[in-house]
Amino acid sequence: MPAGGTGMKANPPAPPLGGLRIGVLFCLLWGASLAALDPPPGAAAFDDNGDGRPDRWEFFNQDGGLSIYLDTKGSGKVSYLLDHDREALRVREALDFNGDGELDDFYYYANDVLVRRELDTNYDGRIDVWVYLEAGVYITRYERDKDYDGIPELVKVFVP
């Protein structure tokens, strides 16, 4: 315990460095998720719309859960994906909102409940909005990278 602490009374806002560290962390996570966008070679492929090209892929991911990737726009690229864990609970959902072939809207779940949403609002391939939720609906924290350098300048914390 640090000397001169005020015990449980004070609840100071996170220092700027905390936000920076979080931003860097999510840049790393974002890089990792980019590599996972293409269905793996062993995925079962389906041609749901009958145009002769696969538009749905299903496979068991590294967590042992079912992953479903869809090409909903006929672009040949994944425009929607849903990852489950081995208990068939949602882990991640993502979609390509603007149809440029790159996913830009991500939903992360814990025990099938939405805990975080990440958006690439200028479609440059980097996340610039982070929204943290409690119980799937209550926003507890909002971060925005206003100059698109990967580091959020605007951080809002909402106390219930």
CB under 8 Å to 9, separation ≥6 — which residues? none
Nearer Cβ to Ca ion, position 66 or 155? 155
The kind and range of the H/E element at 113 are strand 113-119
Chain centre to alpha carbon of residue 149: 18
Closest separation in Å from C-beta 13 to Ca ion: 18
Rounded Cα distance between 40 and 85, Å, is 17
Residue 59 forms beta bridges with which residues? Answer: 67
Residues that bind Ca ion (CB under 5 A): 96, 98, 100, 102, 104, 120, 122, 124, 126, 128, 145, 147, 149, 151
Coil, strand, or helix at residue 108?
Answer: strand
Nearer Cβ to Ca ion, position 102 or 134? 102
Closest separation in Å from C-beta 10 to Ca ion: 28
Nearer Cβ to Ca ion, position 16 or 64? 16
Nearer Cβ to Ca ion, position 49 or 122? 122
Closest separation in Å from C-beta 23 to Ca ion: 8
Q: Which one, of 115, 71, 70, lies nearest residue 89 by Cα?
A: 115
Closest separation in Å from C-beta 7 to Ca ion: 35
Rounded Cα distance between 78 and 50, Å, is 17
